[in-house]
Structure 1
């Protein structure tokens, strides 16, 4: 017997929802979008026309509906704590855009609440769900670059318009929380939990007070290190590289790969350069699919990474030299 589709309500008509997440959810046979909430009724209606569901004015009305099993929350990060908590207290599973909250304490509190109520809280950090990274792990385990010595990871974008929410501290703005979480997560994916922050620098914007650039050195107990860089004041860069005892492996466009992109893995050794072109994959389908499976009873797989990511980001903020 087929299970009933997971019925989704959407809280906020954000750009990422329109471009990447809702097209995947609307196309999934195991999902039905039943309500889309916005403070702007016309915007809710436009989203509902494209993705289905009933347009609803405001966010609270979505949580009060009996035909909503789970909510998708693409609000600005600074609003996540309030609305994820409200959703969990309304007995809804939650798919929330990255990062889950602005701090480790808030993230742990929400995860504890989800466990207490038997609900799933899943962070929509999509790139780890791309099949590219499983192939990179296979190459590492096969000895393609020898023993891993260092990871370097960067995500930078050009400056945004002054009114962009990324420059609003009360909404959880700043480069570390917006783009810095990606290279931090890449370090955790390949070096594992328990990374220590050996040093960090954050550069702030005098007008807004948020950090607009930064970097950190992370270290594992065995001496393997990760250098992460991020910012809003850069030429576009979106990459990670793994440096081993015998060679180096690098990949580009790793954090926001389009569903049609065929990633290229470059392996460089002293006397050999090789490029492997992999199959295209939709990382948003991978992430939302993992959430739906967890709602239906499968073990959630990324809770440790949500907590470790929040811990490392907190530590970077606490110990960074601020310029």
Structure 2
């Protein structure tokens, strides 16, 4: 493993000036004392300069100029999904660790190839499902395992947004747009977190844009071998929803702001039973800062990421299966 010792900061380069990078990830990076943002690349040098004025580092025109730099240890890749595989592969080939936004790629074949390349080169490759780094989910799992709602019988989750502006990349399926891989992966990921990786597909319905073909929204039904169901909703033609619910034999547990809580937000877990209701206020947490710290730790220690890689491959296989089996309705 090509790790970085404690004597110096991890030197990071950023390919692309995505909204998520500027709004959440880069602020967490520059606040981390173990990271130095060395350079930020964009196809538009002016855009790169806007980012470096805010976050530091050198502005670069073109992604290759960043990949080739010898003073960069690791690459953060928030590019559109269609470009994940290409630029993650190029970074790994150049000997850089990679933190790539979710999903790693749009296929099991591509994700598996990148994982094998990272292992062969002794490099860290981490998929950035940042919400998993928030402590609220482990606390909910502790409560459920402790019998707060009896035996688990079902699960539901929703991640939905109002329509995006015309021209938004998510309306362009040819560049990895559409709501399913962008938003739909979150409910699927959290269902796997609570129900395990051995989820089967009961059915799915996707609503697609009649002109562009991009997936606008959908509903997915999954189930475990024991018959515990997961009802998942996603989309970009709804009111905003960002929640999950666990249904048990004696009650139910509900939590809002499960995927994108601000770092100042104190989660409120609601547990409802037939004759009473309880609320538990949890501590605030910073999932972006935690995700960045986890990446730095993996690089510094040479952490074995096989469990995370196996989860990533299980999920992309499930996502591919859902896409194949879904009824696609043009609207």
Q: TM-score interval w.r.t. the shorter chain? A: over 0.9
Cα deviation digits, residues 145-188 of structure 1 (max 9, x gap):
01111110111101111200001112111111111000000100
- 1:290 pairs with one of 270, 294, 307: 294
Divergent runs of 4+, >3 A: none
Kindly indicate whether residue 109 of structure 2 is the aligned counterpart of residue 73 of structure 1. Answer: no
Kindly indicate whether residue 171 of structure 2 is the aligned counterpart of residue 161 of structure 1. Answer: no
Q: 1:24-39 residue pairs with structure 2 within 5 A? A: 24-39=28-43
Kindly indicate whether residue 248 of structure 2 is the aligned counterpart of residue 244 of structure 1. Answer: yes
Cα deviation digits, residues 63-121 of structure 1 (max 9, x gap):
10011010001111111111111111111111011111112221111111111111111
Deviation at 1:38, TM superposition (A): 0.9
Q: Distance in 2 between matches of 1:305 and 1:288?
A: 19
Deviation at 1:130, TM superposition (A): 0.2
Query: Which piece of structure 1 moves more, 237-246 or 40-49?
Result: 40-49
Deviation at 1:304, TM superposition (A): 2.5
Q: What TM-score comes out, normalization by structure 1 length? A: 0.98
Q: 1:175-254 residue pairs with structure 2 within 5 A? A: 175-254=179-258
- SS state of the match for residue 312, structure 1? helix
Q: 1:112-151 residue pairs with structure 2 within 5 A? A: 112-151=116-155
Which blocks of at least 5 consecutive residues in structure 1 are unaligned? Answer: none
Q: 1:268-307 residue pairs with structure 2 within 5 A? A: 268-296=272-300, 297-300=302-305, 302-307=308-313
Q: Distance in 1 between matches of 2:310 and 2:259?
A: 19
Deviation at 1:139, TM superposition (A): 0.2
Deviation at 1:2, TM superposition (A): 3.5
- 2:326 aligns with 320
- 2:263 aligns with 259
- SS state of the match for residue 65, structure 2? helix
What is the RMSD of the two structures over their aligned residues, measured on CA atoms?
1.1
Q: Is the 8 A contact 1:76 1:172 kept in 2?
A: yes
Which blocks of at least 5 consecutive residues in structure 2 are unaligned? Answer: none
Q: What TM-score comes out, normalization by structure 2 length? A: 0.95
Cα deviation digits, residues 252-293 of structure 1 (max 9, x gap):
111111111111110001112011111111111111111111
Kindly indicate whether residue 82 of structure 2 is the aligned counterpart of residue 99 of structure 1. Answer: no
Q: Distance in 2 between matches of 1:307 and 1:218?
A: 17
Deviation at 1:298, TM superposition (A): 2.4
Q: Is the 8 A contact 1:185 1:305 kept in 2?
A: no
Residue correspondences, number: 323
Deviation at 1:14, TM superposition (A): 1.0
Q: Is the 8 A contact 1:12 1:59 kept in 2?
A: yes
Q: Distance in 2 between matches of 1:29 and 1:23?
A: 12
